[in-house]
Amino acid sequence: MAVAAIFDLDGTLVTFNLDIGEWRKVLLDVLKKRGYETGSLGLATPTQDILDSARDQAGPANPGAFDDLKKEAFSILDVLELKGAESSTVFPDAVATLQYLKSKGVRLGILTNSGRKAATESLKKLGIGGYFEFVLTRDETDAMKPRPEGLVKAVSLLGISPSEVYYIGDSRYDIMAAKQAGVNSVAIGTGNYTVESLRDMGADYAVAALSEVAAVLGV
């Protein structure tokens, strides 16, 4: 039986009206304004790759420059995300799934690329925050998905083996992060990808709905 389930938030437990292209454009605009080279970057570039490029350009001799850039960019993203959180809704089978897993003793957490402000607002608005031992956002992790740092930190907080942890998400990045962190990946075809495509991306388990997660976890 699974010991712990860590969930992605946006697109997995809740809908979230945010244009990822606009999200990345914010980052690129901040880089350009500060004189960073962005010619090799675009709206299809993973957000963490954009941040990594900025860090590399700032160099180890000037870490403060990157920190200031990230602070400005994340502040703008917070505004966009909070606007999206206002119209977020919980997926129909999310509450029942969380209640059931909790009743069976499965430990629950969240790891999301969203910021702390938007994640807190969504969980409060939708009334599901109380199910989780912890919520990790981009503000508490060294790098965002698809990098594994956030999941590694989550596993450390749980104090158990990665093999006892399942990460439930809805995207390629969730699968990549889980594999690099050594945890089991459960991908849900909530709309962005089909179950078949998620399976082709390498998910350990691919399901059509949250209601199928309990069976995957063996509870």
> What per-residue confidence (pLDDT) applies to 137?
97
> What per-residue confidence (pLDDT) applies to 60?
84
Phi first, then psi, for residue 23 (nearest 5°) are: -55, -50
CA distance 201 to 137: 24
Which has the closest alpha carbon to 186: 106, 125, 130, 105?
Answer: 106
Q: Does domain 4-16+88-217 have CATH number 3.40.50.1000?
A: yes
For range 58-77, the mean pLDDT? 89
pLDDT band at 26 (very low <50, low <70, confident <90, very high): confident
Question: In this structure, what DSSP letter does residue 173 have?
Answer: H
Which has the closest alpha carbon to 154: 109, 101, 90?
Answer: 109
Coil vs helix vs strand at 3: coil
pLDDT band at 210 (very low <50, low <70, confident <90, very high): very high
Domain range summary for the chain, segments of one domain joined by +: 4-16+88-217, 20-85
pLDDT band at 1 (very low <50, low <70, confident <90, very high): low
Instruction: Judge if the upstream peptide bond of residue 148 is cis by omega within 30 degrees of 0.
Output: no
Under 8 Å between Cβ of 196 and 217: no
pLDDT band at 84 (very low <50, low <70, confident <90, very high): confident
Coil vs helix vs strand at 11: coil
For range 138-142, the mean pLDDT? 94
pLDDT over threshold 80, residue 2: no
Pair of tokens at residue 61: 């001799």
Under 8 Å between Cβ of 109 and 102: no
Q: How many CB atoms lie under 10 A from the CB of residue 34?
A: 16
For range 54-72, the mean pLDDT? 89
